[in-house]
Structure 1
Amino acid sequence: MSLKVAIQGTRASFHEEAAFKYFGEEIETIECDSFKKTCELLKQKKTDYVVMAIENSIAGSLLPNYNLLRDYKFHIVGEVHLNIQQHLMALPGVKLEDIRHIESHPIAIRQCEEYLTELQNVKISEGMDTAACAKKIADNGLKDTAAIAGQLAAKIYGLNILDRRIETNKKNTTRFLILQNDIIEHKNANKASLSFQTGNNVGALANILQCFAEQNINLSKIQSMPVIGKRNEYDFYVDVEWKKQAEFDTAIRKVLKHTINFNIMGEYVKNEKI
């Protein structure tokens, strides 16, 4: 029986591409219209994993997803990086000069602003998902409309790519987390996602970061989020990387003395393939 993986978005979305990249294509992806829905399915054990975008190299962190990580307390068991390549696509036979409407996800539209500003007499509209916009064109036979989406969407929905790589920044990558209910121990783990709060004393966060530095632990990301209902209090989400497990273990023991509500959200193998 194939693994069930919940994704936000429609079939052929970038979330599905990320799922295929991590698990291979012999999986069953479950389409969800929101990130919260993916989490609910995992909580109810109706899916084995969730693939969740957490940050984009251009748009930054997806802050609402940090709230979901906090609320659902799933375990992060892996990560995958995907090079986001945006293409303009339409029905076979349709030419660029036939296009009067272009639809895509608002972030995808922003990623392609330079290209889009050069087009004339074209209305740009926001949709729920890149792949969903491609599917809409195919389902409704729209001959005056193009979508901005990934190559997989063109393949799945039988669309022709009018222009390739229309994103402004060609080094556009998104990092996705792999979430599961159960802890998976990785013998070769070299990265971890942590969350904690600090005291209000001067230099509280600096003391914690110093504990990592003293043990040669690299901080690859730090994100703060307000603690709901508490003024001037923050949850810190930190990704750390190490070469020696013993140094990581020592750093954690030291950090525990300086933090409140410390949690190891997951230890996993760093993904370096883009």
Structure 2
Amino acid sequence: MENLDLQEIRGQLDGIDSQLVELFERRMKLCGDVAEYKIGTGKPVYDGAREKEKLETVTGMAHGDFNRQGVYELFSQIMTISRRLQYGLLAGHGQRLDTGFTMVEELKRDNARIVYQGVEGAYSHAAALQYFGDDADVYHVPSFEDAMVEVEEGRADYAVLPIENSSAGAVSGNYDNLVMHNLYIVAETQVSVNHALLGLKGASISDIRRVYSHPQALMQCSRYLNANRQWTQFSVENTAGAAKKIVEDQDIAQAAVASETAGKLYGLQVLEHGINHDKDNTTRFIILSKSPVYRQGAGKVSICFEGLHKSGSLYNMLGNLIYNNVNMLMIESRPIVGRSWEYRFFVDVEGSLGDAAIQNALKGISEEAVSMRILGNY
């Protein structure tokens, strides 16, 4: 065969690409016809058995392992794009996702009771007062799950829980709690975190041998704490609880990592100011309600979903966001209890449940996922 120069090769590639674009558009037109048929019959867009059969057929037409893998990936993407086209057409015919949420002008605040985990002086306490006001009716319970149960069983209208810290990352247990309890995120607030080392009156840093705090707080101050090798670190349920423990134990060798506000509340002295290494340290708190509502103007949607346990599943799920130009703000994975090495994904996206793009993206994910739940719009 006569050798071709680079320009001739590129010319032939351009010709093939032109044919591919033409064939792609013809295929999308036929996919649109399929969508019209499904609109009339009520059939779902996603047909896993049909797609598997199709992929096996086209892969079998290719020659060589490399080409077979390439054809598999190519047609997987083509069918993913086809599905998204069909979801959009279905939405245009009124077949929107029933989110179960209702839009309200404002959240109910009059006579509202708010619960948080911990004790007075905890950062959760500060978050509750920051969002609902200093005169809000707030009370505390021992654990995060207790706070959620209070709302579920009607004793509180809202629960305030930490979900993410800017330096230590996700509060993983609360992602798991969101799945276990039938509550909805209706708002969020952010609290600047400034940890201090607190001890008994008259204590000095040289007296300290044991330091207590919440695991996240210990992590946020790890550089400072780990530099003092004679100190043993202990985890407790919250920072203010650590401060309370120091007062109750009256042991000069003990110190707490907590806010200076907690120190004043429990009569402790500050042994060291600002020991967290990230001086812009911020914790994001979510406000949970029993009612699936979202405020007019809400700009963030949180969902969780489980994909099929196979290659490309997560990519295909998130592709629904890309195709609808939905901006993803956060993704977090958590292991699914009882199913080793399988994961549930938590995703925050920009937008509102009333937006067409959000509707189309969520409908696509809900049809293709093993399960999907909207956690809130806020």
TM (norm. structure 1) is: 0.85
Cross-structure match for 2:17? none
When structure 1 is superposed on structure 2, of 219-228 and 185-194 the one drifting more is 219-228
- Residue 153 (structure 1) shift: 0.3
- Residue 71 (structure 1) shift: 1.4
Q: How many residues get paired?
A: 268
Cross-structure match for 2:286? 177
Structure 2 residue 128 is the aligned partner of structure 1 residue 19:
yes
Secondary structure of residue in 2 paired with 1:11:
coil
Residue type at the aligned position of 2:367: K
What runs of 5+ residues in structure 2 fail to find an aligned partner?
1-109
- Residue 230 (structure 1) shift: 4.1
- Residue 68 (structure 1) shift: 1.4
State the distance in 1 between where 2:158 and 2:244 align: 25
State the distance in 2 between where 1:267 and 1:95 align: 48
Q: Compare the two structures and name the one with the higher helix fraction.
A: 2
When structure 1 is superposed on structure 2, of 221-230 and 190-199 the one drifting more is 221-230
2:145 to 36, 53, 58: 36
> Residues 254-265 of structure 1 correspond to what in structure 2 (within 5 A)?
254-265=364-375
Q: Is the 8 A contact 2:119 2:240 kept in 1?
A: yes
Q: Is the 8 A contact 1:101 1:122 kept in 2?
A: yes
Residue type at the aligned position of 1:257: E
> Residues 62-141 of structure 1 correspond to what in structure 2 (within 5 A)?
62-119=171-228, 122-141=231-250
When structure 1 is superposed on structure 2, of 71-80 and 223-232 the one drifting more is 223-232
- Residue 239 (structure 1) shift: 0.8
- Residue 266 (structure 1) shift: 0.6
Residue type at the aligned position of 1:259: A
Q: Compare the two structures and name the one with the higher strand fraction.
A: 1
- Residues 107-138 of structure 1 show CA distances to partners (whole Å, capped at 9, x for unaligned) of 32232232234447555444332111212333
Residue type at the aligned position of 2:282: T
Cross-structure match for 2:359? 249
Residue type at the aligned position of 1:43: E
Quick one: structure 1 residues 227 and 123, their matched pair in 2 at CA, closer, same or farther if it must change by over 3 Å? closer
Secondary structure of residue in 2 paired with 1:155:
helix
State the distance in 2 between where 1:122 and 1:204 align: 46
- Residue 8 (structure 1) shift: 1.6
State the distance in 1 between where 2:111 and 2:193 align: 27
Quick one: structure 1 residues 141 and 210, their matched pair in 2 at CA, closer, same or farther if it must change by over 3 Å? same
What runs of 5+ residues in structure 1 fail to find an aligned partner?
269-274
State the distance in 1 between where 2:307 and 2:238 align: 38
Q: Is the 8 A contact 2:183 2:289 kept in 1?
A: yes
Secondary structure of residue in 1 paired with 2:197:
strand
Cross-structure match for 1:191? 300
1:46 to 155, 170, 174: 155
RMSD over aligned Cα atoms: 2.6
Q: Is the 8 A contact 1:2 1:26 kept in 2?
A: no
How many percent identity over aligned positions?
Answer: 33
Residue type at the aligned position of 1:260: V
When structure 1 is superposed on structure 2, of 44-53 and 54-63 the one drifting more is 54-63
> Residues 143-154 of structure 1 correspond to what in structure 2 (within 5 A)?
143-154=252-263
State the distance in 2 between where 1:120 and 1:231 align: 37
Residue type at the aligned position of 2:366: L
State the distance in 2 between where 1:113 and 1:202 align: 37
Secondary structure of residue in 1 paired with 2:293:
coil
- Residue 248 (structure 1) shift: 1.9
Q: Is the 8 A contact 1:5 1:51 kept in 2?
A: yes
State the distance in 2 between where 1:120 and 1:132 align: 24
- Residues 183-232 of structure 1 show CA distances to partners (whole Å, capped at 9, x for unaligned) of 22211011111122223454332222122112221111222334333456
Quick one: structure 1 residues 106 and 253, their matched pair in 2 at CA, closer, same or farther if it must change by over 3 Å? closer
Quick one: structure 1 residues 103 and 231, their matched pair in 2 at CA, closer, same or farther if it must change by over 3 Å? closer
Cross-structure match for 1:272? none
Quick one: structure 1 residues 205 and 10, their matched pair in 2 at CA, closer, same or farther if it must change by over 3 Å? same
